[in-house]
Amino acid sequence: MRDVLHSATTVRSRVTEWMGRRLLARLSRTGFDLESSWFVPSRVMAPLRRNGLDPVPELARMHAAGPITRLPLPVTVWLVTGYDAAKRVLVDAESFSNDFSHFKELGVFSAEAPGGLGFSDPPEHTRLRKVLTPEFTMRRLSRLVPRIETIVADQLDIMSMKDGPVDLVEDFALPVPALTICELLGVPASEREEFQRRSVARFDLGGAATASLSAVSESIVYFRELVRAQRLAPTDGLLGELVRKHGDELDDDELAGLADGLVTGGFETTASMISLGTLAMLRSPDLMDHVRGDEEAVSGLVDELLRHLTVVQVAFLRVARRDVDIAGTKVRAGDIVACSLSQANRDPSVYGAPDDICPERSAGQHLAFGYGAHRCIGAELAKMELRIAYPALAKRFPRMRLAVEPGALSFRKLSIVYGLHSLPVDLGSPTRSAEEHLLG
C-alpha cells in the first residue's frame, strides 16, 4: 500500500513539475507581466523587489531561517541570501555552470542563448575574458579619467542651462555611462547621439518590450558595422585594440558580441548607481558633506553605496553540475541557484548595522560586483565613473534638493537591475554659472 501511495505521489509531482516547466517555457516565449501574476508566490518575487533603497523584509525573514532557501516553484530553484554561501556558489565555477543552454534543456527558457561572458563557462569564458582583461587594467583605464571628467562637466553644464527642475536620470545618470562606454569602445563622435538613444531604448522597461528588443538587435547590427570599420582603420579604443591584437582569432560576431556585452553590463548598472546614490545623498546631508571630502573619503563612500544599493539584485542564474553542499543544504545536479546579492550584502554576520550607510566602514569586500571568475570586469571603470560623478555633482550644485515628495518617486517594481525611472531635482543656484564654468 505504501508503495502504491509513494508511486502515486511521485507521478503527481512529476506531472506538476512537467506542467510547471511547460507553463514557464510558454510564458517565457509569449512574455508575461510578472507584476500582475497572481500565481507567482511572493517569495519568488522577493529578490527582484525593493522597499525604497532596501531589500524587501521578506528576504531578511528568509535569511533568518537559513542562508539558502528553496523557492516554491515547480523546478528546483535555491535562493542564497547569506554572504558566505553566496561567495561559495559564485567562486565555484566547477560545480556551478553559467551556460544559458542549460535553461533550454531544463525547459525553463526557450529563448536563444544570449552571448557574452556572463552566460558562458570555461574554456569559452576563460578565452573571451582573457581577451578583454588587459583592456580593464587600471593603467589602461586611467587614460579615460580626463575624458570622464569632461563628460561629467558637460552634462552638469547642460543641466545648469535648463529652467526649473531637471530629471537627473535623463540628464546625468544615463548620459555619463553611455558616453563613457563610447569612449571605452571607440565609438566615433558623430555616432554617439544615436548610440545613446539606442542604449536608453533597450533598457526602457517602462516602454514596449518590442521597442527594447529591436534596440538590442539594432545594437548588434551597429557593433558588427563598427567592427568592420575598425578592421579597416583601427582606432585607439577597446575595439581597435582587440582588432589589432586578436583580429585573426575572433570573428566579427564575437567582437560585436563582446562590445554589446559591455553595454549590457556597464550602462544600466552604472546609471542606476549614479541616480540611486544621488538620492541616498539627497536624503542625508552628512553623506553630501562626505562626498565633498578628499579622495579617500569619496572612495570609501562609493564602496559603501555600492554595498548598500547593490543595484544588480541577483547574480546570473547558475545550474549545479553535480551534487554540492551549500551551508549544510544538499543542492543536487540540475538544480538552479540564484544568489541574492542585495540581501547577501546586508548579511548581519558580516556587516554591523547592515541597513545603515556608513562611509567609514571598509565595505570593499562587498558582492555588488559578484565574486569569482565572473566578477564584474568593469568594476574599476564603474568605480572610476562614480568617484568622478558624485563629487562633481555635489560641488557644482551644493543646494540641490528633491523636486518632488519622496513618496512620489517612481522606482522599478520588479527587476534584476534596480533603479529609478526618474529623479526630479531642483538644482538651486550652482556654485558657478555654466558660462563662468566654461570660461574656466
Nearer to ligand HEM, 25 or 202 (CB): 202
CB 121 within 8 A of CB 401: no
Task: Give the footprint of ligand HEM on residues 36-95 (CB under 6 A).
Answer: 90
Q: Which is nearer to ligand HEM, 363 or 382 (CB)?
A: 382
With CB under 6 A as the contact rule, the residue among 24, 79, 108, 117 that binds ligand HEM is: 117
Q: Which of 43, 104, 129, 361 binds ligand HEM (CB under 6 A)?
A: 129
User: Which H, E and C letters describe 263-314, residue by residue?
Assistant: HHHHCHHHHHHHHHHHHHHHHCHHHHHHHCCCHHHHHHHHHHHHHHHCCECE
The answer for residues whose C-beta is within 8 angstroms of residue 41's C-beta and 6 or more apart is 71, 72
Considering only 37-45, 219-227, 246-254, 268-276, which stretch makes contact with ligand HEM by CB under 6 A?
268-276
Helices 238-246 and 124-132: crossing angle in degrees, nearest 10, is: 120
Q: Is 369 in the site for ligand HEM (CB under 6 A)?
A: yes
Q: Tell me whether residue 99 or residue 204 sits nearer to ligand HEM (CB atom).
A: 99
In the window 330-349, what residues touch ligand HEM (CB under 6 A)? 341
What is the C-alpha to C-alpha distance for residues 192 and 156, in angstroms, rounded to an integer?
18
Least distance CB 162 / ligand HEM (angstroms): 26
Among 287, 302, 344, 368, binds ligand HEM (CB under 6 A): 368
**Rounded distance between C-alpha atoms, residue 115 and residue 254, angstroms:** 9
Contact partners, residue 340, CB within 8 Å, separation at least 6: 47, 55, 59, 79, 80, 81, 86, 313, 314
Q: How far is it, in rounded angstroms, from Cα 158 to Cα 181? A: 20
Strands 336-339 and 401-402: unpaired
CB 356, min distance to ligand HEM, A: 20
Nearest to 257 by CA among 290, 289, 220: 220
238 binds ligand HEM (CB under 6 A): no
Contact characters 183-222, ligand HEM, x per CB under 6 A: ----------------------------------------
376 binds ligand HEM (CB under 6 A): yes
Distances from the Cα of 45 to the Cαs of 100, 165, 166, 263, 266, in angstroms? 21, 34, 32, 26, 24
Asked if residue 374 binds ligand HEM (CB under 6 A), the reply is: yes
Residue 424, φ and ψ in degrees, nearest 5: -75, 125
Window of 39-47, 102-110, 264-272, 429-437 that interacts with ligand HEM by CB under 6 A: 264-272
Contacting residue, 262, 344, 392, 427, with ligand HEM by CB under 6 A = 262
Q: How far is residue 322's CA from residue 383's CA, in Å, rounded to a whole number?
A: 36
Question: Which residue's C-alpha cell is 563622435?
Answer: 189
Q: Which is nearer to ligand HEM, 108 or 117 (CB)?
A: 117
**By CB under 6 A, residue 159 contacts ligand HEM:** no
Closest approach of Cβ 33 to ligand HEM, in Å? Answer: 25
How many CA atoms, within 13 angstroms, populate the side-chain half-sphere of residue 237?
A: 20
Cis preceding-peptide flag for 424 (omega within 30 of 0): no
Place of cell 568617484: 387
Q: Does 273 bind ligand HEM (CB under 6 A)?
A: yes
* Closest residue to bound ligand HEM by CB: 378
Q: By CB under 6 A, is residue 423 in contact with ligand HEM?
A: no
User: Which one of the spans 77-85, 240-248, 265-273, 402-410 is the region binding ligand HEM (CB under 6 A)?
Assistant: 265-273
User: Among the candidate windows 46-54, 80-88, 151-159, 376-384, which touches ligand HEM by CB under 6 A?
Assistant: 376-384
The backbone torsions φ and ψ at residue 208, rounded to the nearest 5 degrees and listed phi first, read -70, 140
Site for ligand HEM in 393-422 (CB under 6 A): none
> Read out DSSP for 208-233?
-HHHHHHHHHHHHHHHHHHHHHHHHS
CA neighbor of 175 nearest in space, from 385, 24, 400, 408: 385
Question: Counting contacts by CB under 6 A, is residue 298 touching ligand HEM?
Answer: no
Cβ neighbours around 16 below 10 Å, total: 11
Provide the minimum distance between the beta carbon of 90 and ligand HEM in the complex, in angstroms, as a whole number: 5
Q: Which stretch binds ligand HEM (CB under 6 A): 30-38, 190-198, 307-315, 424-432?
A: 307-315
316 binds ligand HEM (CB under 6 A): yes
CB-nearer residue toward ligand HEM: 160 or 310: 310
Residue 317 sits in the site that holds ligand HEM (CB under 6 A): no
Q: Tell me the closest approach of the beta carbon of residue 190 to ligand HEM, in angstroms.
A: 22
Where does this chain bind ligand HEM (CB under 6 A)?
90, 117-118, 129, 181, 261-262, 265-266, 269-270, 273, 311-312, 315-316, 341, 368-370, 374, 376-378, 381-382
